[in-house]
Amino acid sequence: MAKKLLIVESPTKAKTLKGYLGRGYSVLASKGHIKDLPKSKMGIDLEGDFEPHYILLKDKRNIVKKITQEASRSNIIYIGSDPDREGEAIAQHIKEEIEKKVKDVPIKRVLFYEITPEEVRHAIKNPTTINENLVNAQKARRTLDRIVGYSISPLLWKVIAKGLSAGRVQTVALRLICEREEKINAFEKTTYYIIKGIFEKDGIKFEGVFQPAKKIEKKDEIEKIFEDIKDKKFIVSEYTVKEKHIMPPLPYKTSTLQQDASRLFGFSPKRTMRLAQMLYEGVEIDGKNKGLITYMRTDSVRLSEKAIKKIKEYIKSSLGEDYVQRGKRSFKDKGKNVQGAHEAIRPTDVSLTPEVLKDKIDKDLLKLYTLIWQRSVASLTKSAKIRETSFVLIPDKAPDVKFKGKGRELVFDGFYRVLGTRPQDVLLPSMKKGDEVKRVKLEIEEKHTEPPPRYTDATLIKTLEQLGVGRPSTYAPTISTLIERRYVVRQKKTLYPTELGMLVKNVLVPRFPDIFDVHFTAKMEIELDEIENGNTDWKSLIKEFYERLKVKLEDFKDNIKEIKETEVVEKLDEKCPLCGAPLVVKWGKYGKFIACSNYPSCKYTRPLQEPEKTGVKCPLCGGEIVKKKNRKGQTFYACSNYPKCKFTLSHEPVAIKCPSCGFPILEKIKGKKGTYYRCPNCKKTFSEDEIKKSG
DNA sequence: CAGTGAGCGAGCTTCCGCTTGACTT
């Protein structure tokens, strides 16, 4: 019978700990939060004391039951949820639930900063109590997010369409994407000119470019310079050689892993996380289950002492002493708490090289694992060294026309050897000041200034992280939400705002400028730090926040009609065929539609775009068959008399009589082996040849 | 492989952050 109970968040972690602690311990996982605000209502007394009314999550009932059962059989209970704000709240909630059922069993809080037998033993030997300040900071964070989300989203339902949403994180992400689009639209392309030269010395050709500090936008201006120098001698006026060290990259954390997986493999953040989770939970290797990487939701780039030692040993034995990074590398991330809940994302066992795992795990898993493995090993490999040479050439008697260029040579590959890539060398001849070089070719090149690029998953996540908006567990879901709400579409890797996304951003940002300011979250974090340090009372912070917000909410509500009329609904020149009132374009759940301005007394509506006609008559009612889209965006064909007539087809109809049963139309189906036809009535299929023969 | 689908007008939508499953066809 187990006498001690330990509760952690992740089931995988629980399994590992069980292995360390052995008999005498029962280890259970809460699988994240067990309590939260109710989904169906605000759950906060906004006119009272702002205490959040957390309820037990439905899908955690069984887990909590198991925890309390096990608790009643234990002499002592340790709660080892993650050592951070959310983890502390989880600990508090677990404690509350246990205390409802089990009395007189001591409940302790333990903090694991690392999952190693020594660290775990140390943590259990030094238990503490729940840190109320951290719990309060979580309450503040949670209530603020709920208040923002649940009081602003309904405004969108009233003004645009039901089902829409707004939030501290998603609306800022949307804002970034939309404002970038506005910048692109406002961008004015300018043309400017440079002169590119190919030179030669000692049989080596190289490139130098004349690019004046002030851009030359007039063609005749550059032509004048060109004419002036085109036949002149070119002399080396400057030549410098520098050795530079290139630092190895830091190990991966969630955000950087998502960025690279997107950039290199085109994986969406969602897919990356699914794959990483599989690597974390473990893969069957030679009949044994083995977790291949450390936890994948982390904002830390710290590596454990033990891991550093192992990886350095690996580097020494595989690449030699010369490649092992000396001294201790600081993994500090801009003064952030290095003692966070998790390590960087790294392989659990560096000796399991990608080569070893080849053929043992799925292709995509191997791709991601390779990335993680290489990056972790590279982070402890020596810097690379390059020799960089830069030169300036000037045409004879024209010292202002400087042709500049750079050469580059990798003299020590260092960590590049682990990554399997290296910067391309650019070779230059040896030169010294005063040398003359041979002019091979000079030409004017037209250049254009470029607008800023649209965000991709990778660049959006990078920006959000830099702003401190969102957490490792939310980067992927945030982008998914924007796409689900139809605020944003992803094409290839690029994120484009939709018309709806722009509308939502334009309605919200000017009316709630501080909340949807890109720096709001960073400011909030400073306040939360004060709560965590015990310097601020969380309730007064939230009260003050809400008092300010309330004014803006009221303003918005007072102006709903006006906002709708001036910013959302578009008036048409057309009159309603039923009542003669003007028609308008409104927003619905599935996009825009045309409706009568007299709603609700007149209920006339029609789709904004007439569905495309196929020219084929409906075999049931004689109406027209039109091309439509279902709510998933897939096309199908249906009778234009819907809902009176419910005839539908999944493929394009053609007015050909079925050779078998005489049904008036056939479906044209594009299969893998070519096009064939099928009768919707008798279901028989016909090849193109058979159709031609039967006429 | 086959084959469903659409309503935008009265009962519900929505937030962020922690973590992983699963009533059956």
Cα end-to-end distance, chain A, whole Å: 83
Q: Comparing A257-261, A317-321, A502-506, A682-686, which segment has the lowest mean pLDDT?
A: A682-686
Specify the higher pLDDT residue, A606 or A336. A606
In this structure, the strands spanning A191-201 and A635-639 are unpaired
Domain shared by A124 and A47, yes or no: yes
Q: What are the backbone dihedrals phi and psi of residue A576, each rounded to the nearest 5 degrees, phi first? A: -65, 130
Q: For residue A74, what are its two tokens? A: 């234990």
CA A59 to C1' B21, in angstroms, rounded, equals 10
Q: How confident is the model at residue A387 (pLDDT cuts 50, 70, 90)?
A: very high
Q: Domain end: A338, A359, A378, which one?
A: A378
CATH of the domain at A237: 2.70.20.10
Mean pLDDT of the residues in chain A:
90
CA A622 to C1' B7, in angstroms, rounded, equals 22
Nucleotide with the nearest C1' to A645 CA: B6
DSSP A5-59: EEEES-HHHHHHHHHHH-TTEEEEE--S-SEE--SSS--B-TTTT--B--EE-GG
pLDDT score of A579: 82
Q: Report d(CA A9, CA A28) in Å as an integer.
A: 8
Domain shared by A374 and A258, yes or no: yes
CA A63 to C1' B19, in angstroms, rounded, equals 12
Could you report the per-residue pLDDT of A413-431, keeping only the tens digit for each? Answer: 999 999 999 999 999 999 9
pLDDT score of A646: 73
pLDDT score of A331: 63
Residue A456 lies in a domain: no
Residue with tokens 């139309």: A665
Could you report the per-residue pLDDT of A144-184, keeping only the tens digit for each? Answer: 999 999 999 999 999 999 899 999 999 999 999 999 999 99
Q: Torsion angle, CA of A37/A42/A47/A48, rounded to 10 degrees?
A: -20
Q: For residue A266, what are its two tokens? A: 């085109």
Q: Comparing A130-139, A176-185, A330-339, A367-376, which segment has the lowest mean pLDDT?
A: A330-339
Could you report the per-residue pLDDT of A89-122, keeping only the tens digit for each? Answer: 999 999 999 999 998 899 999 999 888 888 899 9
The boundaries of the domain holding residue A262 are 254-378
Could you report the per-residue pLDDT of A662-684, keeping only the tens digit for each? Answer: 888 888 887 766 778 888 877 78
Average pLDDT for A335-339: 52
Q: Report d(CA A552, CA A539) in Å as an integer.
A: 20
Q: What percent of chain A has pLDDT above 90? A: 65
Domain shared by A599 and A662, yes or no: no
Domain shared by A28 and A123, yes or no: yes
Max Cα distance, chain A (Å): 96
Q: Domain end: A106, A130, A154, which one?
A: A130
Specify the higher pLDDT residue, A519 or A625. A519
Peptide bond into A451 cis (omega under 30): no
CA A472 to C1' B17, in angstroms, rounded, equals 9
Domain shared by A269 and A333, yes or no: yes
pLDDT score of A634: 61
Residue A694: pLDDT over 80 = no
Specify the higher pLDDT residue, A400 or A176. A176
pLDDT score of A329: 72
Q: Report d(CA A276, CA A280) in Å as an integer.
A: 6
CA A590 to C1' B9, in angstroms, rounded, equals 14
Residue A503: pLDDT over 90 = yes
Annotated active-site residue A295? The verdict is yes
Residue A230: pLDDT over 70 = yes
Q: Report d(CA A192, CA A198) in Å as an integer.
A: 20
Q: Comparing A101-105, A187-191, A496-500, A616-620, which segment has the lowest mean pLDDT?
A: A616-620
CA A638 to C1' B8, in angstroms, rounded, equals 19
Domain shared by A518 and A627, yes or no: no
Q: For residue A392, what are its two tokens? A: 């300036």
Q: For residue A298, what are its two tokens? A: 């982390």
Specify the higher pLDDT residue, A555 or A2. A555
Q: Which residue is nearest to nucleotide B21 (CA to C1')?
A: A59
Average pLDDT for A601-623: 78
Could you report the per-residue pLDDT of A19-68, keeping only the tens digit for each? Answer: 889 889 999 999 999 999 999 999 999 999 999 999 999 999 999 999 99
Domain shared by A285 and A356, yes or no: yes
Residue A529 lies in a domain: yes
Q: Which residue is nearest to nucleotide B16 (CA to C1')?
A: A145
Residue A335: pLDDT over 70 = no
Domain shared by A272 and A365, yes or no: yes
Residue A508: pLDDT over 70 = yes
pLDDT score of A70: 93
Could you report the per-residue pLDDT of A351-376, keeping only the tens digit for each? Answer: 999 999 998 889 999 999 999 999 99
Residue A302 lies in a domain: yes
Average pLDDT for A365-393: 95
Average pLDDT for A649-668: 82
pLDDT score of A630: 61
Domain shared by A67 and A154, yes or no: no
CB neighbourhood size of A375 (10 A): 24
CA A141 to C1' B15, in angstroms, rounded, equals 11
Cβ(A651)–Cβ(A676) below 8 Å:
no
Positions on chain B within 7 A of a protein C-beta: 1, 3-9, 11-21
Domain shared by A358 and A470, yes or no: no
Residue A298: pLDDT over 70 = yes
Q: For residue A359, what are its two tokens? A: 């053929």
Residue with tokens 């048409």: A572
Residue A457 lies in a domain: no
Residue A601 lies in a domain: yes
Of A463, A540, A438, residue with least CA distance to A201:
A438
pLDDT score of A2: 57
CA A606 to C1' B7, in angstroms, rounded, equals 12
User: In sequence order, what are the residues at sequence separation of 6 or more whose Cβ sits closer than 8 angstroms to the Cβ of residue A325?
Assistant: A248, A312, A315, A380, A381, A382, A383
Q: How confident is the model at residue A585 (pLDDT cuts 50, 70, 90)?
A: confident
Q: Torsion angle, CA of A550/A551/A555/A556, rounded to 10 degrees?
A: -30
Nucleotide with the nearest C1' to A173 CA: B16
Of A468, A341, A467, A469, residue with least CA distance to A85:
A341
Cβ(A101)–Cβ(A72) below 8 Å:
yes
Could you report the per-residue pLDDT of A264-285, keeping only the tens digit for each? Answer: 999 999 999 999 999 998 887 7
**Is residue A642 packed enough to be buried (19+ CB in 10 Å), middle (13-18) or exposed (0-12)?**
middle
Domain shared by A441 and A474, yes or no: no
Domain shared by A479 and A595, yes or no: no
Structural domains counted in chain A: 6
Residue A330 lies in a domain: yes
Could you report the per-residue pLDDT of A419-478, keeping only the tens digit for each? Answer: 999 999 999 999 998 888 898 899 999 999 999 999 999 999 999 999 999 999 999 999
DSSP 8-state symbol, A567: I
CA A244 to C1' B17, in angstroms, rounded, equals 43
Buried b (16+ CB within 10 A) or exposed e, A461-481: bbbbbebbbbbbebbbbbbeb
pLDDT score of A339: 57
Q: How confident is the model at residue A400 (pLDDT cuts 50, 70, 90)?
A: confident
Q: Among A113, A150, A295, A369, which one carries the catalytic annotation?
A: A295
Residue A283 lies in a domain: yes
